[in-house]
Amino acid sequence: MSKRRNHDAGFKARVALEAVKGKRTVSELAAEYGVHPTMIHQWKKALLEGASDIFELGGKKKAEVDEQTVRSLHAKIGELAVANDFLSRKLKPWTGK
């Protein structure tokens, strides 16, 4: 039984763009790139559905950072660091380190 292959986004985009161009059939592309034709159809569909997002975002993704979430995560990190330090000091007598 063969192992599943994971293709990177660049490979998928390249194959999907060739499928959209329509110069060759999906079967020809599948044989050339060694993937199943169903995968090419799925990648082509995803490309066409997601193409409008490029123009909506202006070609760049905006960072979606909520300041309140960042503060709460920093507080949680601080709490965990203190707890970790406390527990490591309390465990020293039992571990012999």
Task: Going residue by residue through the chain, which has 97 residues, state the pLDDT in tens, using 9 for 90 and above.
Answer: 567 788 999 999 999 999 999 999 999 999 999 999 999 999 999 999 988 877 776 656 666 788 899 999 999 999 999 999 999 888 887 776 6
- Among residues 15, 12, 16, 37, which one has the least CA distance to residue 26? 37
Q: Which CATH class name applies to 1-60?
A: mainly alpha
Q: Is the dihedral of CA 9, 46, 64, 81 positive or negative?
A: negative
HSE-up (13 A, CA, CB side) for residue 8: 2
Q: How far is residue 13's CA from residue 19's CA, in Å, rounded to a whole number?
A: 10
Domain residues of the chain, as ranges?
1-60, 63-97
Query: Nearest CA to 54 among 46, 64, 43, 66?
Result: 46
